[in-house]
Amino acid sequence: MHAHALLALGLLHGALAAPANTRAPDVVSQNGYRSAPYHGPYSGTPTVLGAAKASKTLAPSIAPKPPNPTATYYNAAGVPTQPMPAPYVPAGGLGTNGTLPRYMVNSDWDFESIALGVYQEYIELDLFHDGLARFSDDDFKAAGIGPEVRSLIEFMANQEVGHATLLSNMLGEAAPKQCVYNYPYRTVREWLDFMQRLTRFGESGVWGFLSHLDSREVSQMLSQSIAIEARQQMVFRQLAGLAPMPVWFENGWPQSWQWTMLAPYISSCPAGQTRLAWQNFPTLHILNNPNINRVDANNTRPDGSEQAGNRITDPSSSNVTQGDACMTANGIGKNCQAALARNRTEPLSYPGKKVYFSWDNPGQHVGPNNSYVTSTTAGQPKFVGWSNQLNLTYSPLTVTGQNRGWTTQPGGMVFGDDGVINDTMAVMLTDLDLFVTPFNTTMLNPHIVALGLYQAG
Ligand SMILES: *[C@@H]1O[C@H](CO)[C@@H](O)[C@H](O)[C@H]1NC(C)=O
Ligand SMILES: *[C@@H]1O[C@H](CO)[C@@H](O)[C@H](O)[C@H]1NC(C)=O
Ligand SMILES: *[C@@H]1O[C@H](CO)[C@@H](O)[C@H](O)[C@H]1NC(C)=O
Ligand SMILES: *[C@@H]1O[C@H](CO)[C@@H](O)[C@H](O)[C@H]1NC(C)=O
Ligand SMILES: *[C@@H]1O[C@H](CO)[C@@H](O)[C@H](O)[C@H]1NC(C)=O
Ligand SMILES: *[C@@H]1O[C@H](CO)[C@@H](O)[C@H](O)[C@H]1NC(C)=O
Ligand SMILES: *[C@@H]1O[C@H](CO)[C@@H](O)[C@H](O)[C@H]1NC(C)=O
Ligand SMILES: *[C@@H]1O[C@H](CO)[C@@H](O)[C@H](O)[C@H]1NC(C)=O
């Protein structure tokens, strides 16, 4: 990369004056490479309320339109159709005509997306370090986590210093700062489980907006960091004794889904913190969300009691009776200690499973300083939307009472025998079974009543 490209990234601060490689580039982490001294709830009163807004909002939602008139290219012969700009350079592409790269966000869309990314990188930095600091050698030993694995987790935590720095540099001086967090886990296993959930919404949130960014340069940089986040997600699944990647495609989500799942774990942020424009949906509680600590997750009690807490992506409770616990079970298909790959004889979830829900009303205060307010523009809930792989598929919701209902988990394949519903994935109540595909998933947001995270595999 050229020096001016690096300068734009802020990666050469100070380095121009000094001989090369004598000084490490500046990083943004306030707590250094450590967990914060305080974790817990926020008890004060927020000084502002609600998502960031521009002075004007033009319409209540984005109207669907016909295909882009220029999106017509088709090449049946398989040979270049246009004059080539240079030898070995086929015509087309973005940022391929020799213009100088500018590694900065290039629209409000870009800014808000990368700012969300900064909030995510900072919680990961703190969270990965926090478990390492919180639990004892004996706790780790009991969870099957040895010293080399702890070193790996520490390395992953430090990767977040780089990610937070990179993203902050591409935003400039208004980049959000590190906050104070409030975590749900009580054991090493719940920590690992929470991390595989948190990195799922971190990863999928980025896949959702990456190809919509105006700045292709920022997209390039973000791709190179999300490749690492994806590896972290898989490692945490392995450490939790789950199948590493029970899908053929990772799913992309709208930013508001990511923010909905992230915000409840942020208790307060520094004064003057840059706020986000994304929506916080009400929480969908999955009352029998499969408990990953059971040999047979089908036995998870259907009353919500097998989550470590009541928040949207809280881990499964690791407090499972001896005979039911997969950590102490013997044999292939039953044991779930940390491993490269685990099979489950009894699947965590399956088509035909009855899934029970309760959901929150909008209007709850969540996130940094309780200063964001959950909202929905949808009507009465009628469907359950299952978003995974390349698909968003629906099943009918049976409402059984005030904010209570159930559905039957649908089947369906992506390609071949690759079941759509598997992995750690998003589910939601909607008022309409709107057809959306990976590039227009955000069109569903106005129809979402409540959002949750399902542990399908
Ligand atoms: C070069 O490509 C960029 C987008 O990638 C475009 O904005 C710009 O107009 C192009 N410049 C010229 C001279 O064609
Ligand atoms: C959030 O709380 C922190 C710590 O008390 C305070 O410094 C900050 O100004 C508060 N921010 C808002 C938006 O209320
Ligand atoms: C799960 O449990 C239900 C209710 O106990 C039972 O009807 C069903 O057959 C079980 N399914 C599997 C795959 O174990
Ligand atoms: C574990 O669960 C049992 C019964 O379900 C309960 O009595 C016990 O207090 C729980 N232990 C912890 C540490 O939560
Ligand atoms: C793991 O599960 C698959 C089915 O998902 C099965 O084909 C395979 O034999 C199992 N492997 C072992 C070692 O039991
Ligand atoms: C899932 O998406 C793939 C790719 O678009 C499609 O072929 C398949 O039919 C979809 N499956 C379901 C159940 O919607
Ligand atoms: C989920 O993935 C596992 C592999 O980890 C596979 O054995 C299982 O059949 C898949 N379930 C569905 C419903 O596709
Ligand atoms: C989303 O895109 C698909 C084409 O991939 C289209 O059929 C569908 O109508 C679009 N949904 C909306 C709400 O615009």
pLDDT for position 37 = 87
The DSSP bridge partners found for residue 452 are 427
Q: Is residue 88 assigned to a domain?
A: no
- Domain boundary (234, 261, 288) is at 261
pLDDT for position 26 = 79
- Domain boundary (261, 288, 317) is at 261
pLDDT for position 352 = 98
Nearest ligand atom owner, CA of 267: 2
Ligand 1 test: best mutation among 97, 215, 217, most atoms within 8 Å of CB? 97
**Mean confidence (pLDDT) of the chain:** 94
Q: Identify whether residues 301 and 395 lie together within a single domain.
A: yes
The DSSP bridge partners found for residue 372 are 366
pLDDT for position 31 = 72
Summarised one tens digit per residue, pLDDT across range 352-384 is 999 999 999 999 999 999 999 999 999 999 999
Q: Which residue has the tokens 């050469």?
A: 12
Summarised one tens digit per residue, pLDDT across range 163-174 is 999 999 999 999
CB 290 within 8 A of CB 350: no
CA 389–ligand 6 middle distance (angstroms): 9
Which of the four pLDDT bands, split at 50, 70 and 90, describes residue 23?
A: low
Nearest ligand atom owner, CA of 272: 2
Would the pLDDT of 13 be above 90? no
Which of the four pLDDT bands, split at 50, 70 and 90, describes residue 30?
A: low
pLDDT for position 22 = 56
Q: How many domains does the chain have?
A: 2
pLDDT for position 28 = 85
Q: Is residue 70 assigned to a domain?
A: no
- Whose CA is closest to atom 9 on ligand 5? 343
Q: Is residue 61 assigned to a domain?
A: no
If we measure between CA atoms, which residue out of 7, 5, 11 comes closest to residue 100? 5
> Cα separation of 282 and 450, whole Å?
5
Would the pLDDT of 253 be above 80? yes
Q: Identify whether residues 255 and 375 lie together within a single domain.
A: no
Q: Identify whether residues 236 and 301 lie together within a single domain.
A: no
> Cα separation of 69 and 410, whole Å?
36
Q: Identify whether residues 191 and 337 lie together within a single domain.
A: no
Would the pLDDT of 14 be above 70? no
Phi, then psi, of 321 in degrees rounded to 5: -60, 145
Q: Identify whether residues 176 and 301 lie together within a single domain.
A: no
pLDDT for position 130 = 97
Would the pLDDT of 10 be above 90? no
> Cα separation of 337 and 342, whole Å?
9
Q: Is residue 56 assigned to a domain?
A: no
Q: Is residue 69 assigned to a domain?
A: no
Summarised one tens digit per residue, pLDDT across range 261-309 is 999 999 999 999 999 999 999 999 999 999 999 999 999 999 999 999 9
Phi, then psi, of 141 in degrees rounded to 5: -60, -45
The DSSP bridge partners found for residue 355 are 407
Which residues, 6 or more positions from 168, have their beta carbon under 8 angstroms from its beta carbon?
28, 118, 175
Radius of gyration of the chain from its Cα atoms, rounded to whole angstroms: 23
Q: Identify whether residues 256 and 338 lie together within a single domain.
A: no
Q: Which whole-number Å values give the CA distances from 384 to 61, 198, 387, 398, 432, in the listed order? A: 21, 22, 10, 10, 9
Whole-prediction pTM value? 0.94
- Domain boundary (200, 226, 261) is at 261
Would the pLDDT of 12 be above 80? no
Q: Is residue 94 assigned to a domain?
A: no
> Does the beta carbon of 424 lie inside 6 Å of ligand 7?
no
Phi, then psi, of 147 in degrees rounded to 5: -60, -35
CA 437–ligand 8 middle distance (angstroms): 6
> Cα separation of 419 and 236, whole Å?
22
Q: Identify whether residues 257 and 301 lie together within a single domain.
A: no
User: What range defines the domain where residue 189 resides?
Assistant: 5-40+101-261
Would the pLDDT of 81 be above 50? yes
Compute the average pLDDT of residues 335-339: 97
Would the pLDDT of 162 be above 60? yes
End-to-end CA distance of the chain: 41
CB 131 within 8 A of CB 315: no
Ligand 3 test: best mutation among 288, 291, 294, 298, most atoms within 8 Å of CB? 298
Q: Identify whether residues 355 and 301 lie together within a single domain.
A: yes
CATH number of the domain where residue 217 is located: 1.20.1260
pLDDT for position 18 = 42
Q: Is residue 48 assigned to a domain?
A: no
Summarised one tens digit per residue, pLDDT across range 31-47 is 777 888 899 999 999 99
Q: Is residue 124 assigned to a domain?
A: yes
pLDDT for position 21 = 57
pLDDT for position 148 = 97
